[in-house]
Structure 1
Amino acid sequence: MSQSSQASQTSDAPPGASHTHSKPSKRTLPARPRWLMLAIIALLHAYIGWRLLTPLPVAIGWKVLGGLWLAVSTVLIPLGLMSRAIQKEPLATLLTWTGMTAIGVFSSLFVFTLLRDVVLGVAMAFSALDAQLVTRSAVIVLILTAVSTVLGFYNARRLARVVDVDVPIANLPSELKGFTIVQLSDIHVSSTIRRGYIEAIVEASNALKPDLVAITGDLVDGGVPALRDHIAPLGQLTSRHGTYVCTGNHEYYSGAPAWVAELRRIGLTVLENEHVVLDHEGASLTVAGVTDFTAHQFDPEKRSDPQAAIDGAPDGVPRVLLAHQPRSAPAAQEAGFDLQLSGHTHGGQFWPWMYFVPLQQPFVHGLHRLDRLAIYVSRGTGYWGPPKRFGAPSEITRIRLVPGKV
């Protein structure tokens, strides 16, 4: 295998792969005004109680219970969001589970309540509003919330399914035809995603016998001491050319330097604005990785830079970039990459949030093109926050490189 002119060989890189290096990050996530979050959460719960409880055709006792649940949810949600600051177990895990589940229920309840008000407003405008519509629509909101929450929990907790994607690459050497990459993304190991799920992912990936494994960020939600044992099975991932990782924004929330060191310790190759050149059946393939798109907010020296990641790479060789956020695509296209593998969006994770992702990201999920550059955005292999996936199933992606015209 060839070696980049700007690369220095490191102990965690597979034999023969060129590899560049960088310094650890220096900052952590800045504090946010929690009082504002609490006020917003309380007001939104009050809105649901005001609009939904009164018209329900049930006894007053049930309405009181509904009000109590809304009050408890108002407290559980911020506790769940802040549970990582609690060191005592099993309290921290309990608060995470209850708080995140409350977020899942509340989010659907709020959206369906809001949609109900839109329907009632339209009915009023056309003089079609009556007591029966008001009552039945409130019941429908509860039914839809229950169904989406139960199905969403099931979809989130089951093992991600394998999704096969063929990616046409212009001028692909015949030796690289059918080259397979298993992409794992946005696993979010935390209090609700533990070692057992990681072991199942590793088993599923290994069964695919890939040429390479790519982990495209947001692997963890917590510090190394708490989660080290849970991510350890990733060291058992097998492929012909090894496992490569790029950092996501949640690595920076969780202490990126420590996590980069830990992942390298268990045998994974973390690429921080750097690349390796692989030799596959006599043909070369360049695999690069960048730091998260927002990394400079935590460490100015870690600014995501696709061009720096490819500096010194040989010309005329297919180039694959691991970049956590899809919005790295314009810079990747300008740097001359053929394929970018990303995650971050979770495909929206559950309805209707997939419709809001385009406000921040150019692509939500699936295979896209930006001139010569192909971009594949994974829906993620785990989930973040609420254990809920509805309309955006998790995936273990098997990418296959095939010849094609751009």
Structure 2
Amino acid sequence: MRRNSRAYEDGPLKYVVRSALFLAIPAILFALPWWTLVGAPTTGTGPLFWLGTALFLAGFVALPASMFLGHGPAQSDAAAIVGDTLLGVLWVFFSWSVLGTIASLGLAVGGVDDPARSRIVAVGVLAIASVLVVWGVVEARRVPRVRTVEVPIRGLGAAFDGLRLVVVTDTHFAALNRLRWSERVVAVVNAQRPDIACHAGDLADGSVAKRHPQVDPLGKVEAPLGRFYITGNHEYFGDAQGWIDHMASIGWQPLHNQHETLTRGGDRLVIAGIDDPTGVGLPGHGPDLPTALAGADPQAPVVLLAHQPKQITGAAAAGVALQISGHTHGGQIWPFHYLVRLDQPVVAGLSAHGAHTKLYTSRGTGFWGPQLRVFAPSEITVLVLRPEVG
């Protein structure tokens, strides 16, 4: 009886803790910008103080409410757009308020007194953050720039020299309807004349029923040697198997811990894919590189699709020639990439690991959550494979 009572108490206690964190994080993110833009420059008095304080209080209420309505049981797309956008804007203002605080200390050392010092900082933070928010929205919603990178591959046969592998990843089709954007991305991909097309995960946020119209244009991608898709972590927040089945239905080959061997002019190239680590919670899912490579020609170089860069450890140990990943978004909104770097070995670009393994980490083709990209532009990547010399 006492054990049941304890279990009953633990449930509400956990709920209280989670609710407190749900409100504490926005409180911290709102507090510093409020002080930088409202509290300090107004010296806590006057109509600007009360108007600014009311505005920040409204935002503090709106953020958790819209996030709960958008991402909780109701799954309201309108609320998700509001909450996600507000979160991104808040992060920009918080980040620059931190820099403004540092600048304020510099002005104080230089002999600038308050309230002039606080007003100079407030104007600077407001101007810079506002410009970056507008620019960030434009960057996030534009069709990504094409980034072409030559990658030397150990053991690549001459028949595959110059092979063009086009990568899209982290499209995150979600509450904001980006059907037209999806169609334009496909047009850009096809213009690159890919031999192979890859989607490295985080295809969409939400169910197949709600999001498939935005995904379906991918069925028009043209790649004569194959179109390959793997799951990212966000598929496992929803219907991963549903998305695997849907991608197969529009002509993409899911690589669910499996590989395909491509042959050209007597040379071979293995294209393999593994699940995201979050898949372990779903029966039959989770990364399994040995299974993915079972039966592959040990003399053929392996190109591996693995959503998270940190999966490179196993890939290098297995002798994979090239791993292609996404997940990081390049940080998406500066300076978030510093936090990403705590979890991932690479944030973006081509890097070397182990004796002969390369990793290419894409900054992503779309965006997650906040429709902003600040100092982390999206990309459609063309990897041109070359035989490694020496």
TM-score (norm 2): 0.89
- 1:268 paired residue among 252, 272, 280: 252
Secondary structure of 1:99's counterpart equals helix
- 1:338 paired residue among 295, 306, 321: 321
Q: 1:45 Cα shift?
A: 1.6
| CA–CA separation in structure 1 for the residues paired with 2:264 and 2:23 | 54
Secondary structure of 2:346's counterpart equals coil
**1:180 and 1:398 in contact (8 A); partners too:** yes
Secondary structure of 1:54's counterpart equals helix
| CA–CA separation in structure 2 for the residues paired with 1:34 and 1:118 | 32
Secondary structure of 1:391's counterpart equals coil
Aligned residue number for residue 19 of structure 1: none
| CA–CA separation in structure 1 for the residues paired with 2:29 and 2:144 | 33
- 2:21 paired residue among 36, 39, 42: 36
Q: 1:208 Cα shift?
A: 1.3
Say yes or no: does 1:224 pair with 2:208.
yes
Query: How far does the alpha carbon of each residue in 1:217-250 deviate from its partner, in whole angstroms, 9 at most, with x for none?
Result: 0111111111122211111111112210111000
Q: 1:267 Cα shift?
A: 1.7
Say yes or no: does 1:361 pair with 2:330.
no
TM-score (norm 1): 0.86
| CA–CA separation in structure 2 for the residues paired with 1:230 and 1:80 | 23
Aligned residue number for residue 113 of structure 2: 130
**1:84 and 1:222 in contact (8 A); partners too:** no
| CA–CA separation in structure 2 for the residues paired with 1:117 and 1:137 | 8
Query: How far does the alpha carbon of each residue in 1:162-221 deviate from its partner, in whole angstroms, 9 at most, with x for none?
Result: 100100012221100001111001010001252111111111111111111000001111
Q: Which has the higher helix share?
A: 2
- 1:150 paired residue among 117, 134, 138: 134
Q: Which has the higher contact order (CA 8 A, sep 6+)?
A: 1
- 1:52 paired residue among 37, 57, 62: 37
Q: 1:121 Cα shift?
A: 3.8
Secondary structure of 2:243's counterpart equals helix
Aligned residue number for residue 63 of structure 1: 49
**1:220 and 1:254 in contact (8 A); partners too:** no
- 1:287 paired residue among 261, 271, 286: 271
| Unaligned runs of at least 5 residues, structure 1 | 1-30
**2:132 and 2:374 in contact (8 A); partners too:** yes
| CA–CA separation in structure 2 for the residues paired with 1:42 and 1:101 | 17
Write the mapping of 1:302-313 to structure 2, written as runs, cut at 5 A.
302-313=285-296
280 and 79 in structure 1: CA distance in 2 versus 1, 3 angstrom threshold: farther
Say yes or no: does 1:107 pair with 2:91.
yes
Aligned residue number for residue 6 of structure 2: none
Return the letter of the residue paired with 1:190. Answer: A
Secondary structure of 2:188's counterpart equals helix
Query: How far does the alpha carbon of each residue in 1:339-382 deviate from its partner, in whole angstroms, 9 at most, with x for none?
Result: 00000000011211122221000001000000211100000000
| CA–CA separation in structure 1 for the residues paired with 2:28 and 2:382 | 44
78-87 or 55-64: bigger deviation: 55-64
- 1:314 paired residue among 297, 302, 322: 297
| CA–CA separation in structure 2 for the residues paired with 1:300 and 1:35 | 33
**1:108 and 1:145 in contact (8 A); partners too:** yes
**1:161 and 1:394 in contact (8 A); partners too:** yes
Secondary structure of 2:40's counterpart equals coil
Aligned residue number for residue 159 of structure 1: 143
Say yes or no: does 1:172 pair with 2:156.
yes
283 and 97 in structure 1: CA distance in 2 versus 1, 3 angstrom threshold: same
Cα root mean square deviation, aligned:
2.1
| CA–CA separation in structure 1 for the residues paired with 2:36 and 2:22 | 21
Aligned residue number for residue 62 of structure 2: 76
**1:245 and 1:269 in contact (8 A); partners too:** yes
| CA–CA separation in structure 1 for the residues paired with 2:51 and 2:218 | 45
